[in-house]
Structures are given as structure tokens and as C-alpha cells.
Chain A
Amino acid sequence: MSDPSTASVVSTPGAHPTDSAAPATAGQPQSNDKPRGLLGDAWRDLRRKPLFWISATLIVIFLLMAAFPALFAPGDAVNGSLSRSLDKPSANGWFGYDVQGRDVYARVIYGARASIVVAVLSVMGTLLIGGTMGIISGYRGGWVDALLSRIADVFFGLPFVLGAIVILTTFNGSGAGNSKAQIMGLVTASLIVLSWPVVMRLMRSSVLATKEADYIVAARALGAGTGRIILKHLLPNCLAPLLVYGTIMVGSFIGAEATLSFLGVGLKSPVVSWGIMISDGQQFVRVAPGLVFFPAAFLVTAVLSFVMLGESVREALDPKLR
């Protein structure tokens, strides 16, 4: 890493990280003939970290849970039988039953879907909108930058929970007969609306830092158009911090969605979600602490694994820490 500028120029984010690292012989510096890029370096670093493997495994499990809940829980998550109301954990219902006699284990498994879908969609939307705005305002500068930055400030000035509650009660109040997909869409939209300014600032500052780099100037001198410079040169070199932030953001959005559902303004009852379960279970916490404990444990584990993944990727990508 004697010459940081070459190290970052060589990076080829389009290729999958595994391509640039020698797969079979870990630790042996036999790939000297081919210079490794930033991502290749990061991947080598990452592979040695137990934290990365633990969090990646957990995330894969959670994603599978969200995609194929029936694989993990054969039980019924939505319908219950009142005869089993508040039953203790048993061989049939591993985590016990809630007040409606629904299987808590099945509900916890099925709850992964709503939380993860909402979080992933919101992160994608936030990155897309915030990233685009950031590139535009960083690259164009001038009045466009000033205008977009002020708009971002407006949304940034709203306290997060407060803003989300206002948006959701307005469009998703108790009277509104929104369908399941509409409710999830509204929660996603409110998360995006309130958090894109952060991504925009991040993107804007890294565009500003790269804009005057030699390779951009060279590309412009060679006659590359704005679109080509942004897509081929600017974007790949500004992507790393965005990806790290995005990963951590998935975790915090899962938490945010649960908070909103807990307050009773986010997802609502036919949807199964950890926040709703905790909110429902808290009245019975003295008789059946499991009703709160199990969804909370899943929620915390899910948030933790995304935060851990982002954390270890950031450490691997940050040359300062090496």
C-alpha cells in the first residue's frame, strides 16, 4: 500500500471479489503477478475475521427465513386456537403460545419476512435517492448543490421517530383501510423520506473528494461525456462507503420498523412482525415473558448481524486501520 492512489484506481468493483483473490491458497502471496484491487484486499482481510463469518451466516439464515419461512416452522403463524392461549413452551410449540393461541415460534419465523423486506427495500430506496442526489449536487455544484443541500436539510431537521409517526398517522391512520402491501409500502416510503439526506451528504462529500482526481481529469480530457464519467469513474470509486453504510442501515431500519410497529403506527396486525409481537406481548409480560423475549431476541440478533457485517466490511475497506 505504498501508493494509495494506484490501489484505489485498480479497484474493479464490477467483478465479484472472489475473482481477484486467490481462492485455494489463502495466505500465500503467490498472486504477486496480478495487483490486487481495494476490494480484493478487503476480501482477503475479511476472510480471516470470525466476526464476518458469524454475521454472514446469521444473515443468510435470516434471509432464508424471510424467503422460505415454512422451511423453519411448519406451524400456522396467523391462525391460533384459543384453547392454547398463553400456554408455556412445549414440544409442540417451542416458544409457547400467545394470548390468541398462536404459535410464537412460527410467528417469530414468519415475522422475519416483513421486517427484512421493509428494511431492505427502504435501504435500496434510500441509497438510490440519496446517492443520485449526492452525485448530482457534488458533481454539478453551484446553485444545484445549494438547492439540493437545503432540501436535504429540511428533511434532516425532522426528528426521525417523530417524522415517521406524523407521516404514518396521516396516510395510515386507524381509519385507512390499507392492504398489507400498502402498509408495508407506506412504512418503507416514510423510512426513505426521512433518511435519504444522510446518504446524500455521504455521497456528496465523496464525490467532491474524487471529482478533481487525476483520472477524472484525464477521462474528461479524452472526451468522455458527463454520463460516462459519472457511471464509469465516479460511481465505482465512491461506492465503498455507501455499501458499508447501507449494510449497517439495514440493521437500523429493522430496528426502526420494529419501533414504529411497537408504537402502533407502523405495520399492523394481519402482517406478522417482531415489533407488533413485542407490542402485543408486553401486556402479558408477567405471565408469559416469552411473548416479548423471543421476538426481541430475534430482532436484536437480526439487527446485530447486519451491524456486525457492515462493521467488519468497513474495517476491511478502511486502509487506515490496517
Chain B
Amino acid sequence: MKIRRLSAAIAAVAGGALLFSACSSPLGGDETEGGSGDDGSVMADGPCKADLGDVTTADGDIKVANEQELFAYNGLTADTYSTYNSAILDRMLGSFYYFGTDGTVCHDDAWGSYEAKSPTEIQYTISDEATWSDGTPVNYADYLLAWATQAITKDITVTDDASEEPLFNQVGGLTLGDYVPAGPEADSADAKQFTYNYERVNADWEILVDTALPAHVVADQIGVSTEELVDAIHNLDGDVLKDAAKFWNEGWLLEKPGELPDPALTPSSGPYMFAEGGWSAGQSVTLTANPDYWGPAPASKTLTFRQIASDGQIQALQNGDLDVIQPNGPTVDTISKIEDLGDSVNLETGQTLIWEHLDFNFGDSSAFADSNGGLAAREAFALCVPRQKIVDDLIKPIDSTAVVMNAREVFPFQDTYEEVTSAAYDGRYDAVDIDAAKAKFAESGLEEGTEIRIGYLDPNPRRTDTVSAIKASCDQAGFEIVDAGSPTFFDKELGNGDYEVALFAWAGSGQITSGENIYATTGGQNFGGYSNETVDAAWKTLSQSTDPAVHTEQRKVVEKELWDTLFGIPLYAHPGVVASSSSVNNVRATATQGGVVWNAEQWARAE
């Protein structure tokens, strides 16, 4: 049994935010071990993909588990966006960047490069070699179309404030158009270089320019030339744009599972492409190496995604039906079972970018509202929540690197975590202190035995256990903890304010600025109704800067204020697990939601 425990490893896939990005500065990552591992895997230097040198594609197939069916070649619509669809599509669609194992934005040099001339002027250059598998070069037209899908409204105008109804059903909405109303600018439709001029600074500029789908296919399908499509976008030609939107929204749906469309419709710009006849409905999707790929060649000729729920994955790995698995929601039993498989399997456990927390309800009906128990009551609660016991009992058996999380905007495995927490949090809630909690409880003026409903989405055994642990401790401080788990928690209780404490997780915490939605007074995800001027101001400063140093400074302000006024209590980063057959090298877990397949083109069958 070779167990590699990385401090920044894994992804688990759960519902949550739609965009996932780094919370910390670029570069970094904790393990800096270079060179080649003793098991034949190449160890990476930092969170980005390792440099494998010259790779020749070896015949053979590597089989990885995927829990759901492929939906669409265009996985960017609101209807088709899914982690499982992306797991497959991301292998055949290139991009300027990808997320490293700890969420760092890494550059794909084979694809091209980009450079910030100023905080509002970014120049992108696509590699000259970059072509779609049908021979058409990847160029400006593709990125202009990608921009159009995130900028043009139903009324064929460029968005004003991103709130209009969009023409294209893009999952990301109209944010890009809101910030860059002019769109990318270039000399010609087939230019390899173009510039984005931001109207105002966006802290998340690096990840705004994302996957581009083939514009020439869209043009071809609606009966215009690529140049005409480009002109139509520039001139806001409604007829062409409506046709383009119709095709973009629906034309790439894979409506009939098992039947791949005409290959001309789904060209690849990545290391893999659909294998002919490689889709068996509900069973598997096979990708084969893209012969025209100009970047580092994929290590294995084919890659097969087999559709199977988490429950069956370990035995399938044992039987050789799968080579790489990433079971969802791992428990201590998942780990024991994989460990029982011995040397034939490599196991990697670690933390993910999904973090669990307790949030207070600030509504008037709540005991924690400032009009009731107020800060003293929240402090009393924070003093009695056994965070260490929860992590020790529930998380450590799965991932021995697990720690109690003391921040909300940075994760324990990220570089700035130490810096931010030491500035924002003095360790006062590290250990349970029932006496202090009692004192605070008395100070709050709450009645002895005040009912505290901890709401969460049931069924979820781990959260049930978490509430049990809190009850065992906090009932001594004067609270009467009630387990208020419910299958309707998110659509009923949370919205109605029928809870005192909400127990749930945020995934990936979104972009650099995503926390603004949660903690700012007007934030859409500020369910508890928290309001704090210092926090609001800090977010404003943060989101208007592209400087990582400013981001870190403002995070410290936000975190400190959230601790001092007790918005809520962070608990831990969710554990994740990846297991792979020891005959496959270079499998590497990642904390992001991209999942273990993020570096699938590097997986190589051991000789």
C-alpha cells in the first residue's frame, strides 16, 4: 500500500457554486518535491501539471469512473452545465488556463499566453499551432463568439448591467459583457492575438476568459462564413445572432445518448477527441488521442469514462473494471476498504475546496439576532461547539491531514492561510470552554434552555453526527440544541428563517470576489441577514483591485470582522479521496471540482 498524503489534494463533487477559482495568490502549493517518484509517477513542482518531457502515446486504455451521462458538446449552457459533463469535455477543449491542485490558476503554455498590460487591458495570444481537429485554426473568432455568448441580451444589445435576459443560455451569465462591453479586439477575424479592454477593474479577470467553442462550426451550421459571423457580432446583426444563439443553445445537445453526432460538429482542440462509436448509452464514453494535437501528447491512446455510482467503484477498481476512482462523499469505511486492497492500489486523501460551516440567523425570530441574545449568545455558542472533536471523530479517520478551519476565504492548504488567520483570529474558540460559554450565555440574557434549531439538508449522516456532538456540548452551556435536519431545508426552512443555525457547505467559494455575495449586506446568498459596514467596505476595495497583495489585506479585514462579530463558525474543509490502480502512473488528486481527471492526459500505464 503506497499512500501519498498531500496537504492539498482531492476534489469531491457536490452541489454548489458554479465557478471555482483560486482563493490565494498564483504560484505556490505546498509540496515542492520534484523529480520522479519511486513508483514511476513524475512528481510535480507545485500545484500545476508536472512536466513529463517528451511523451509518446502508448496503446492502451485507462478507465475512470464518472457518475453521470454525457449531455452535450456545449457544456456551458445553464441546462447542460455539470461537473460530470465537463469531466469529459474538458479533455477535448483547450483553454488559456486551468486550475492547479489547490485552486491556483495555472497557464497552459501550449494553448497560448496572456499578459496584463494594465489592470484593465489584457492581451491574449493563441499559439500558432493551435488548431481544431478539423484543421481550422483556433483564433479570434472563437473568442469573440465566447464573449458574445456572455454579453448580448435578448434585445440584441450589449448588456448594460448584466441583469437583462441573455440571448445565449450561458451558465456564466452576462458578467463578461458587463465588464468588457467592447468585446475582444483584433485586427482580423482569423487573428491569433486580441485584447480585452475592461471598463472597470475585475479582480477575477484571469478566469473570465474561459473555454471557447468552435465559431466556424456555428457559422457553418447557420449558413454564413466565419467572417460574416464575426461581423454580425460586431454589428449586432439580430438575424444572424439569433440563429447563432439557437444553434449554440441547442445544436450541440447530444439528445440521443449512445449516438455521437457528425464528427464535423464536435471538433477537438485538446489532447483527446471522441472515439468513433465510443459512446455506449448509460455505460461508457471513450475518448481517443487527438492526432492533430500540438501540445504534449497524451500518455495513453484511449481514455474511457465508465458510468457508475460511488457505491460500486471500489469493487470495480479491485476487479480491474476501473483504473481510477474518486468516490463521492467518502467515509471512514471507504478508506478502510481501499486500504484493504493492499499494494495493487494507490490511495490519496486530502482536503477539498468545499468547506463546512455553521451560520447564524440574524433574523428577529432568532435567538442570535442582535435584538435577542446578540453577540454574547453567539459567543456562548462558539465557545461550546466542539470543533476539534468534530474534526477528530468525523474527518481525521478519512483524511489524516484534516484540521479545524479558521477562515472562510482561504483554505488551510493554501499559502496565505497562515498569514490571514494569524491576523484575523486569536484562537479564542479553539477549545471548548463550557464555563466561559455559561458566562456569556448569562450575559446574553437568554432564558436557560433556549431552543436552538440547527438546520441542514437531510439525509446526511455526517451532519447528523455533527449536530449530536454540538448538542452533547452546548446543552451544558444553557442551550437546548434541536436537530432540525430536513429534506426541504434549502427551499423552505432556510428561506423562511425557520432555524437559528444553518449547517452546510460552500463549494470552492467561487471567484476571488464570490464571498461578497455571502457576507455583504446586499449579498444574494446572505441568508442569515448579516450586515456590517466594515465588511461591505472591504469587499468593495477587494473587488476593485487586481493586486493579490490587496486581496490578502482586505481578506484579513473581512475575516477579522467576521470572527469578531461572529457571522458564523467555519468547521473544516471536506475530505476527498482518489484511488488508482498501481499500474497507472501520474494520477494526482486535486482539491478543485475539476476532479481527478484534471490531468488525465498524463496518466500512463506502467510498463
Task: Answer yes or no: do A and B interact.
Answer: no
A-side interface residues toward B, CB under 8 Å? none
B-side interface residues toward A, CB under 8 Å? none
